Amino acid sequence: MGSDLSVMPANAGAMRAADSLLRSLGGRSVLLRLPGNAVPDSDQEQLGLTTPTFQDMEIAPVLYRKVSATVSDTASARYELLVSAAAIAGLVGPLGYSSASALFALAVGVVVDQMLMEITSATATEAFGQAYLYRLELRAPLQQRV
């Protein structure tokens, strides 16, 4: 029997090309920090408080780079993270998110080199109406901006 081409996404070639490009340009892995279930503490629970928890999910391959320099004390440098759509697809379904945009909107941020970066925007690059690469704009937290 031949392979069933109908189960392959229309943009499978674009996804493989994006993954290869990310790896060849020094692809690395980062952690996407997502909210977890709150853990009740008996004392805090009596006050109606719970301790928030987070889960870090590894995503790879990604390409991380600085896209603008620090301009002033109130404005920080901006960074860009190019992310494989295949890696994000591996998280969206199993974690119960409806889409990649919902995943990025609910994420606390991205941990890069042990620094939590805020996601300021997320856009998809598409082929045949399906994403093969995501571009995340990142910003360092205010206390870490220089």
Tell me: the pLDDT tens digits for 48-91?
666 678 889 999 899 998 887 665 666 677 899 999 988 898 88
Number of C-alpha atoms within 13 angstroms, CB side, residue 39? Answer: 6
Alpha-carbon span 142 to 36, nearest angstrom: 24
77 or 130: which carries more pLDDT confidence? 130
Q: Which domain holds residue 64?
A: 5-144
- Specify the DSSP class assigned to residue 31: E
Alpha-carbon span 68 to 79, nearest angstrom: 7
- Specify the DSSP class assigned to residue 8: S
- Count how many domains the chain has: 1
Instruction: Please say whether the dihedral angle defined by the alpha carbons of residues 67, 128, 59 and 105, taken in this order, is positive or negative.
Output: positive
The model's pTM: 0.77
